[in-house]
Structure 1
Amino acid sequence: MKSKDGKKFLAALEELEKSKGLSQESLLETVEQALLAAYKKHFGEEENVKVEINRTTGEIKVYELKTVVDDVYDAALEISLEDAKEYKKRPKLGEEIKIEVNCEEFRRNAIQNGKQIVIQKVREAERTGIYDKFKVREKDIIIGIIRRIDDRKSIFIEFDGTEAVLPISEQSPSDIYRVGDRIKVYVAEVEKTSKFPKIVISRKNEGLLRKLFELEIPEISEGLIEIKSVAREAGSRAKIAVYSEDKNIDTIGACIGQKGLRIRNIVDELNGEKIDIVEWKESREEFVSAVLSPAKVNSVEILEDDTTARVIVDPSQLSLAIGKNGQNARLAAKLTGMRVDIKVEEASEENND
């Protein structure tokens, strides 16, 4: 490597250290190891060699490492005491000495190889940095700025210099997306892959509603009120079950807030999505009855399969219990984890006859 090329290479590494936070020494060691592997692949594995990059000039040199012995049995690894004097004035038995290898062609290609290795290392570090940055916020809300929207309606959002994509499959139908707007999203999943980290951000995930409640309602973040379950059809309606061991706490009232301020802030963030807050009950029958609000339920029976709740309502309450397009019943089933079978009172009496 020419002196000026070596110095340019070191200067580039120094700039990377400043801009990317990568250790220059670590990069140099990585390049040395990679060049050593390349040398052995080209010239053979039998020799004990070392590649060194001068930390001042950037010059690359290759050395054979040989142990000084009385009698040489393996010329690739050993050198006689007499021959060692050619490379060192006073060699000692058992000492390892370095013998520079003349390989101009290898050195000429080494700088280009070094650049490619560093580029790869930088990309790996960037990917690791992005993964680490999002992994610590997994299952949490982060705030970004919408930078662009492509033809497929994918939303590109910037988070402190890093961009992530909100695909149409994770968008809420009630949301309006405009370039330049600040937006809260839920980090649903962060995984390492062989290439770019897999980052799933969402405005549709139930976790977004759960975290909004934690942010808006201190009693939840403090552990005084527990969110037991969440069911959501994004952009339309959601149900959330809350519970407190402290009987003096009005769980629903705390979630609604004074003059409805707390729940209104959450509804505004979700662009008008309706939210039913239900008090969680240990009795499954009572819980199913409460979850079907605003409908009034006559009775609930847990059937023998232990996964189905038979609900009896008056005819006037049937449409309320089922909800528009079956939404209320679907959300109730999801929130309770049971199949909800809704029947009217007359149908129940006929079945008993």
Structure 2
Amino acid sequence: MNAEFIEALNQIEKEKGISKDILIETIEVSLVTACKNNFGTAQNIKVEIDRDRGDVAVYAEKEVVEDVEDKQLTISLEDAKKINPTYKLGDMINIEITPKNFGRIAAQKAKQVVVQKIREAEREVIFNQYITKEKDVITGIIQRQVRDNVIINLGKIDAILADKEQVPGERYYPNERFKVYVLEVKESTKGPKVYVSRTHPELIKRLFEQEVPEVHDGVVEIKGISREAGSRTKIAVYSTNRDVDPVGSCVGHNGARVSIIVNELRGEKIDIIPWDEDPVKFISAALSPSKVVKVIVNEQDKSAKVVVPDYQLSLAIGKEGQNARLAAKLTGYRIDIKSETQAKQTNFITEEETLGALLSRNSLDEEELY
């Protein structure tokens, strides 16, 4: 190695941000191993590289002793003083033993170390870049399918869309662009790995943050999301500003805002529900698009009895119970739904429950008056 090599290290430090001193120290350590492997020495050796000229020297480290038992590890005081009169017993001295042709071995090892360090630095840069994307939405391009996983290019790295994170029935075509939710970014021996999802409820939240300025700015808050990916989502929204309609803001003019999100989700239906701290109002809204006649809430066991018009029963329950299931998940209440006819025939709601609900309503009205 020579001064040109040192200059190359200076350039790498400038362009890649890898410390020249760290590179040289790593090369020195690797050369110690190379020296022992190639020349079979059992001595305590160390390798030093001149930081300015790039010259490489191998030294045997020996202890100054009175009686020499191991010539590989010790040197007599008499011989030590021939090298430098100031040496005394117990001193550690370095004796140069640079092998012939060691420069060629040093150059090869140096190249390997530099290439490895550059790869590690590039991996670290990529990891640091994508770790900031964790729990966020990013646009990717579908590359290929490997077994049940879909590989998606995110720019400088490929992400893994695992089978369990894929929307049932959704097809993925090469070179197609779409948005994914970044579940996790973690390091591995082969570099950073990024795992993404198309089914996570947070994907919905991030898409609304991108498309609805009021949500992005925090004026409209997303209070809850219940989702059955690929089919239907219910989202509860609340406005911190009385002059801002939370549902209207999310829907947009002529449904423009929500349509963009629905298209990104390839037709998944989205019900936008006004959140209310009153569970009666919240549950009634959550069962949209059906109408609700009566809601009796038991806050202790987080359950609710709901009565709907006869012709609205199937709508309230939804196909295979989906509407009721999503409403229950959104509100946190176990919901039991009956039609008006069923409620009358089975004494679904008792007189005590009805009276309790009326008293609660009257009490609330009185509080509102004051």
Do the structures match in fold with TM over 0.5?
Answer: yes
**C-alpha distance 53-339 of structure 1, shift in aligned 2 (>3 A):** farther
Shift of residue 92, structure 1, vs aligned partner:
6.8
From 209, 218, 236, the counterpart of 1:214: 209
Q: How many residues align?
A: 344
Task: Quote the offset at 1:293 in angstroms.
Answer: 0.4
Structure 1 position 166 matched with structure 2 position 185:
no
> SS at 1:179's partner residue?
coil
* Alignment partner of 1:276 out of 253, 271, 276: 271
Aligned partner of 2:303 among 300, 308, 317: 308
Which residue type is aligned with residue 317 of structure 2? I
2:261 equivalent to 1:266 = yes
1:93-242 aligned at under 5 Å gives the runs 97-102=93-98, 114-146=110-142, 148-150=143-145, 152=147, 154-173=149-168, 177-242=172-237
- Mapped partners of 1:248, 1:274: distance in 2: 27
Q: Which residue of 2 aligns with 1:352?
A: 347
Offset of residue 296 of structure 1: 1.3
How far does residue 163 in structure 1 lie from its aligned partner after superposition?
2.0
Residue number among 288, 294, 308 corresponding to 1:299 in the alignment: 294
In structure 2, the residue matched to 1:338 is 333
Instruction: Check whether the contact 2:149–2:161 (CA below 8 A) recurs between aligned residues.
Output: yes
Q: 1:188 touches 1:207 (CA, 8 Å); kept in 2?
A: no
Secondary structure of the corresponding residue to residue 270 of structure 2: strand
Identity, in percent, stands at 47
Spell out, residue by residue over 1:280-323, the C-alpha distance to the aligned partner (whole angstroms, 9 max, x if none): 11122321221110111223334476233332223322111111
The question of 1:31 aligning with 2:27 is answered yes
Q: Is the 8 A contact 2:178 2:264 kept in 1?
A: no
* Residues in 1 aligned to 2:311 and 2:175: alpha-carbon distance in whole angstroms: 48
Distance, in Å, in 2 between the alignment partners of 1:329 and 1:341 is 8
1:324 aligned to 2:319?
yes
Letter in 2 for 1:329: A
For residues 31-78 of structure 1, the C-alpha deviation after alignment (integer angstroms, 9 at most, x for no partner) is 32344467689756x94x432234566554322456889x79999888
Contact 1:145 1:159 in 2 (8 A): yes
Q: CA deviation at 1:189?
A: 1.6
Deviation at 1:172, TM superposition (A): 3.3
Asked if 1:52 corresponds to 2:48, the answer is: yes
Letter in 2 for 1:27: L
Distance 1:262 1:36, change over 3 A: same
Tell me, in whole angstroms, the C-alpha distance in 2 between the residues paired with 1:12 and 1:173. Answer: 53
* Counterpart Cα distance in 1 of 2:200 and 2:154: 19
List alignment gaps of at least 5 residues for structure 1: none
Greater CA drift, 247-256 or 123-132? 123-132
TM-score using structure 2 length: 0.75
Deviation at 1:173, TM superposition (A): 4.8
Describe how 1:246-265 pairs up with structure 2 within 5 A. 246-265=241-260
Any gaps of 5 or more consecutive residues in structure 2? Answer: 349-370
Q: Report the AA paired with residue 133 of structure 1.
A: Q
Instruction: State the Cα deviation string for residues 151-183 of structure 1 (Å, max 9, x = none).
Output: 646443322332223344333357554433433
Aligned to 1:137, the other structure's residue is in SS state coil
Cα separation, 2, equivalents of 1:241 and 1:304: 19
For 1:215 and 1:347, locate their aligned partners in 2 and report how far apart those are by CA, in whole Å: 45
